[in-house]
Amino acid sequence: MKKIVIASIATLALATASMAAVNGKACMGCHGANFEKKAMGKSKVVADMTHAEIATSLKGYKDGTYGAAMKGLMKGQVAKYSDADLEAFAHTIGK
């Protein structure tokens, strides 16, 4: 029983650390506190996107396969994060 509890706590700690890896507050400056704004009047409203759409766009910004006018700016914002970090963060916002 103790092994199960310890394994569960370790899994939760790793998941929490992964979600905390992306600085969501940096995103809020342009996208709004609840991701309700079009960043600089050009982006999609992130709050209206699904978790999968957010993850795809973040990873696409990172590898250069996604984006238009803000592609260069967003690449700089997400380049330091792993795909797993971006995926975990995507599940904390959107629908």
What is each CA distance from 31 to 11, 15, 53, 64, 69, in whole angstroms? 31, 24, 16, 20, 15
Residue 78: the pLDDT is 95
Domain covering 2-90 in this structure, CATH number: 1.10.760
Per-10-residue mean pLDDT for the chain, 95 residues long?
Answer: 52 46 90 94 94 96 92 94 96 89
Whole-number Å distance between alpha carbons of 40 and 60:
19
Residue 1: the pLDDT is 58
> pLDDT by residue (tens digit) across 59-69?
999 999 999 88
pTM: 0.75
